[in-house]
């Protein structure tokens, strides 16, 4: 099925699931969604792959005054990735980086509590881990997620998103075992450009989607 845009994140996830169908039935596969927008994309994928679904919380470090531009990202487990090209080109001092990172760390911890509560993070060692977001621009956020998966000794790390900037696909292939997408436009501009409905996913929606994907107790 060819598409130039996605109706919404759910439809994008269904199309992405088709691209990932070759992983269906792989033992112990784990789908990790990057909240918030990656969660509704990941649900159809987890269903198609018959895989466990959870979240991997990552926060972009936006350049002050130009927050859409990533100077790096942080993720669960103390992982931090800096985009040295952006930091160097804009001559961003260390104290500014630390101030932004500290603020985003507080938000990361809040989201971890909100989405997972007392439920422990899933074990990654020896598993094929599929990392999903609703789109990938520069890749800073996804690189942090890859760092978590590698640090957890995942067997293979698969990066997947409905749309990835063409210039980023090659970079992702350097750090992931596989990169899967539906669209890889040269004229990327921003993730929202490729969705008819790019309404922000709420914390409440994330919690409901995760709860619906949890295995039900026997009996």
Number of domains comprising the chain: 1
Domain assignment present for residue 144? The answer is: yes
pLDDT of residue 214: 64
At residue 130, the pLDDT reads 98
Residue 2 inside a domain? The answer is no
pTM for the model: 0.85
Question: What is residue 129's predicted lDDT score, i.e. its pLDDT?
Answer: 97
* Domain-embedded: residue 3: no
* Residue 1 is assigned to a structural domain of this protein: no
Residue 4 lies in a domain: no
Question: What domain range is 168 assigned to?
Answer: 9-213
The pLDDT score that the predictor gives to residue 210 is 87
Give Cα 9 to chain centroid, integer Å: 13
pLDDT recorded at residue 218: 41
Give the pLDDT score at 211: 82
- Predicted pLDDT at 2: 61
Across the chain, which has 219 residues, the per-10-residue mean pLDDT values are 84 97 87 95 94 90 87 82 89 94 92 83 92 93 89 94 96 96 94 96 92 59
Closest among 44, 12, 39, 9 to 206, alpha carbons compared: 39
Specify the CATH number for the domain of residue 153: 3.40.50.2020
Residue pair 57/141 in contact (Cβ under 8 Å)? The answer is: no
Q: For residue 8, count CB atoms less than 10 angstroms from its CB and return exposed for 0-12, middle for 13-18, buried for 19 or more.
A: middle
């Amino acid at each position: 099925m060819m598409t130039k845009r996605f109706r919404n994140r759910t439809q994008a996830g269904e199309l992405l699931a088709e691209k990932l169908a070759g992983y269906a039935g792989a033992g112990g596969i784990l789908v990790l969604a990057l909240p918030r927008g990656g969660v509704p994309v990941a649900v159809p994928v987890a269903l198609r792959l018959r895989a466990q679904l959870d979240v991997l919380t990552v926060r972009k470090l936006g350049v002050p005054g130009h927050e859409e531009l990533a100077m790096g990202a942080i993720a669960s487990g103390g992982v931090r990735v800096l985009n040295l090209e952006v930091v160097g080109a804009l001559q961003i001092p260390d104290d500014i980086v630390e101030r932004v990172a500290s603020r985003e760390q507080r938000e990361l911890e809040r989201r971890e509590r909100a989405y997972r509560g007392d439920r422990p993070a899933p074990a990654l060692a020896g598993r094929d881990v599929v990392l999903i977001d609703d789109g990938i621009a520069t890749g800073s956020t996804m690189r942090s997620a890859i760092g978590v998966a590698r640090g957890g000794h995942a067997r293979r790390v698969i990066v997947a998103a409905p749309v990835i900037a063409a210039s980023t696909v090659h970079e992702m292939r350097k750090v992931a075992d596989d990169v899967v997408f539906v669209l890889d436009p040269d004229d990327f501009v921003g993730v929202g450009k490729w969705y008819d409905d790019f309404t922000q996913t709420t914390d409440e929606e994330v919690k409901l989607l995760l709860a619906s994907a949890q295995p039900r107790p026997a009996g």
